[in-house]
Amino acid sequence: MRTRFFRTFLPWMLLASVSALACNVSSLTSLVDIGSKPQVTIQSPVAGTQFSEGDNVSIQSVSTDPGGIVRVELLVDGTVVRTDAPPIAQGQTSFTVIQPWKATLGTHTLSVRAYNASGGASDPALVTITVNPSTAALPTPTTQAVLPLGAPTLSLTPTLGPFDATPAATETRQTPRATATPKINAPPGVWATSIRLDPPAPKRGQFVTFYVTFFNNTGAPASYQWRIRLFYADTPTRGFGDTMPLSSTFPAGVTEMASANNWRVFGPGNCLSLIARVFWLDANKNAVEFLKPDQSGGPAAQFQVCP
Residue 117 and residue 91 in contact, taking contact as beta carbons nearer than 8 Å: yes
Integer Cα distance of 243 and 228 in angstroms: 5
Q: Are residues 264 and 294 in the same domain?
A: yes
Q: Are residues 87 and 166 in the same domain?
A: no
Q: Are residues 126 and 193 in the same domain?
A: no
Integer Cα distance of 195 and 199 in angstroms: 13
Integer Cα distance of 7 and 278 in angstroms: 94
Closest CA to 228 of 192, 287, 279, 274: 279
Higher pLDDT, 149 or 306: 306
Q: Are residues 208 and 284 in the same domain?
A: yes
Residue 63 domain-assigned (yes or no): yes
pLDDT at residue 248 tops 80: yes
Q: Are residues 165 and 300 in the same domain?
A: yes
The pLDDT score that the predictor gives to residue 89 is 79
Output the domain CATH number for residue 85. Answer: 2.60.40.10
Residue 21 domain-assigned (yes or no): no
User: What torsion do the CA atoms of 160, 164, 170, 176 make, to the nearest 10 degrees?
Assistant: 40
Q: Are residues 112 and 220 in the same domain?
A: no
β-pair partners for 306: 203
Q: Are residues 200 and 283 in the same domain?
A: yes
The answer to which of 173-177, 259-263, 301-305 has the lowest mean pLDDT is: 173-177
Residue 140 domain-assigned (yes or no): no
Number of domains in the chain: 2
The answer to which of 22-31, 88-97, 203-212, 294-303 has the lowest mean pLDDT is: 22-31
Residue 34 domain-assigned (yes or no): no
Q: Are residues 160 and 121 in the same domain?
A: no
The pLDDT score that the predictor gives to residue 183 is 53
Q: How many residues does the chain have?
A: 307
Residue 60 domain-assigned (yes or no): yes
Q: Are residues 221 and 85 in the same domain?
A: no
Residue 103 domain-assigned (yes or no): yes
pLDDT in tens, 96-106: 999 999 999 98
| Domain C-terminal end among 68, 97, 132 | 132
Sign of CA dihedral 61, 65, 69, 71: negative
pLDDT at residue 259 tops 90: yes
Q: Are residues 271 and 218 in the same domain?
A: yes
β-pair partners for 112: 74, 125
Closest CA to 212 of 177, 253, 162: 177
Q: What is the 3-state secondary structure (H, E, C) of the chain?
A: CHHHHHHHHHHHHHHHHHHHHHHHHHHHHHHHHHHCCCEEEEEECCCCCEEECCCEEEEEEEEEEEEEEEEEEEEECCEEEEEECCCCCCCEEEEEEEEEEECCCEEEEEEEEEEECCCCECCCEEEEEEEECCCCCCCCCCCCCCCCCCCCCEEECCCCCCCCCCCCCCCCCCCCEECCCCCEEECCCEEEEEEEEECCCCECCCCEEEEEEEEECCCCCEEEEEEEEEEECCCCCCEEEECCCEEEEECCEEEEEECCCCECCCCCCCCEEEEEEEEEECCCCCEEECCCCCCCCCCEEEEEEEC
Residue 2 domain-assigned (yes or no): no
The pLDDT score that the predictor gives to residue 19 is 53
Structural domain including 225 reads 154-305
Q: Are residues 169 and 128 in the same domain?
A: no
pLDDT in tens, 149-172: 334 443 333 333 333 333 433 444
β-pair partners for 111: 75, 126
pLDDT in tens, 15-73: 555 454 444 444 444 444 445 799 999 988 888 889 998 898 999 999 999 989 999 99
Residue 7 domain-assigned (yes or no): no
Q: Are residues 77 and 192 in the same domain?
A: no
Q: What angle do CA 298, 301, 306 make, to 5 degrees?
A: 150
